[in-house]
Amino acid sequence: MAELTVSVVAADREVWSGVAKQIVARTTEGEIGILPGHEPLLGILGAGEVRITPTEGAVVTTRAEDGFLSVENNTVTIVAGAAELL
């Protein structure tokens, strides 16, 4: 089964990293869902939650704002000015 390599980074530290089967994030255009095989994407984060469904374990929720979301080759990078686990 394909999976996503995910990294959520705040300006001063890494907030979460691991492998996931799904990501849901808020952009300035609205919510977006990302699954393995997603087309390359660069989006501007809107203030709100990022929900990560790891390949194992419970959903991880972070709050992120002032940054961007990048998707390429099943790698998702979320870089935010401010981010924290909820």
User: What is residue 63's predicted lDDT score, i.e. its pLDDT?
Assistant: 95
For residue range 18-76, list pLDDT tens digits in order: 999 999 999 999 999 999 999 999 999 999 999 999 999 899 999 999 999 999 999 99
Residue 1 has pLDDT above 90, yes or no: no
User: What is residue 83's predicted lDDT score, i.e. its pLDDT?
Assistant: 93
Burial of 20 (0-12, 13-18, 19+ CB in 10 A): buried
User: What is residue 85's predicted lDDT score, i.e. its pLDDT?
Assistant: 95
